Amino acid sequence: MEAVAENLNETITLRATEDVLPWAVRTANLCLAFGGHQVLEGLNLTLQAGEAILLRGENGSGKTTLLNILSGLIRPDAGSVLLHLKGREIDVTGSSPERIARSGLGRLWQDIRLFPTMTALDNVLAASAELLDRTALAGITCWPLIRRQERVARERALHNLALVGMADRSDSSADKLSVGQMKRVALARLLQAEADFWLLDEPLAGLDQVSAEEILRLLERFNTDHGKTMLVVEHQHERMAPICGRMFFLANGHLQPERSV
């Protein structure tokens, strides 16, 4: 059965699926070239719900490009990106990054991307799932509802900052935080956005040993206790591998499995 989602500029096709396997994200035959350079060449990847996959590859092999396609920042030349949500298969190929984010896909950026002059708390609040869809009209006509949503969002933001060990820095400006603290705030943003599928681009880059260990333990906890599905790009694979069930190496546009569970 097919139904086309309403109120979208882009077309998202929803298909009822009888597939009971708990896959979360699937790419089918992804192809992408920059100029004459073929970066991805028929790439197939399926993430099961709740699993963590480690993606390795040489510099320039296309790891970030793959994350950019999954996030909706780049449209592939061919192939598709599917999300599995509430028993339905959603084709998000070419959908906007905002639409994909609202479908539950969140990203830890290689360059972190917090708002530098905002506090840690406001950075987390800005990602609030409950505040994203609010319209200006709703702000005028539903003031009590908005106040309640903001109160709930603030409580959640403080809770999420506590989960990443940053409760005592909630009022600190983001640009006064260390790289490790910024990454922890960025993880709190993923929790605040209620993202279920996490794309993590080099989460350990730029961290000393202690900070890297803190981030690792958090990722392990959010994967095992919170059931977050993770695709992790990381050069420090020997540190990340123990918390990832499967490992792939990206070369010549294809994924090669390196280890199975």
Q: Which stretch binds Mg ion (CB under 5 A): 29-37, 62-70, 94-102, 157-165?
A: 62-70
Which residue's C-beta sits nearest to Mg ion? 64
The C-alpha atoms of residue 130 and residue 190 are separated, in whole angstroms, by 13
**DSSP string for residues in 218-251:** HHHHHHHTT--EEEEE-S-HHHHGGG-SEEEEEE
- 3-class DSSP assignment, residue 7: coil
The C-alpha atoms of residue 66 and residue 64 are separated, in whole angstroms, by 5
The C-alpha atoms of residue 158 and residue 172 are separated, in whole angstroms, by 13
Q: Which stretch binds ligand ATP (CB under 6 A): 52-60, 75-83, 112-120, 220-228?
A: 52-60
**DSSP string for residues in 90-156:** EE-TT--HHHHHHTTEEEEBTTB---TTSBHHHHHHTT-HHHHT--HHHHHH-HHHHHHHHHHHHHH
| Binding flags for ligand ATP, 55-74, as an x/- string (CB under 6 A) | --x-xxxxxxx---------
Task: Specify the residue, 102 or 254, whose C-beta has the smaller distance to Mg ion.
Answer: 254
64 lies in the site for Mg ion, by CB under 5 A: yes
Task: Specify the residue, 67 or 121, whose C-beta has the smaller distance to ligand ATP.
Answer: 67
| Binding flags for ligand ATP, 2-41, as an x/- string (CB under 6 A) | --------------------------------x--x-x--
- 3-class DSSP assignment, residue 30: strand
| Residue 62 touches which member of ligand ATP, Mg ion, none, C-beta under 5-8 Å by kind | ligand ATP
Angstrom distances, CA of residue 50 to CA of 44, 206, 255:
19, 27, 20
Least distance to ligand ATP from the beta carbon of 100, Å? 18
- 3-class DSSP assignment, residue 167: helix
| Residue 203 touches which member of ligand ATP, Mg ion, none, C-beta under 5-8 Å by kind | none
185 lies in the site for ligand ATP, by CB under 6 A: no
Task: Specify the residue, 37 or 148, whose C-beta has the smaller distance to ligand ATP.
Answer: 37
| Residue 39 touches which member of Mg ion, ligand ATP, none, C-beta under 5-8 Å by kind | ligand ATP
| Residue 34 touches which member of ligand ATP, Mg ion, none, C-beta under 5-8 Å by kind | ligand ATP
| Residue 65 touches which member of ligand ATP, Mg ion, none, C-beta under 5-8 Å by kind | ligand ATP
Least distance to ligand ATP from the beta carbon of 62, Å? 4
The C-alpha atoms of residue 173 and residue 192 are separated, in whole angstroms, by 18
The C-alpha atoms of residue 108 and residue 71 are separated, in whole angstroms, by 11
Task: Specify the residue, 73 or 163, whose C-beta has the smaller distance to ligand ATP.
Answer: 73
Q: Are 63 and 247 in contact (CB under 8 A)?
A: no
| Residue 97 touches which member of ligand ATP, Mg ion, none, C-beta under 5-8 Å by kind | none
Q: Footprint of ligand ATP on this chain (CB under 6 A)? A: 34, 37, 39, 57, 59-65
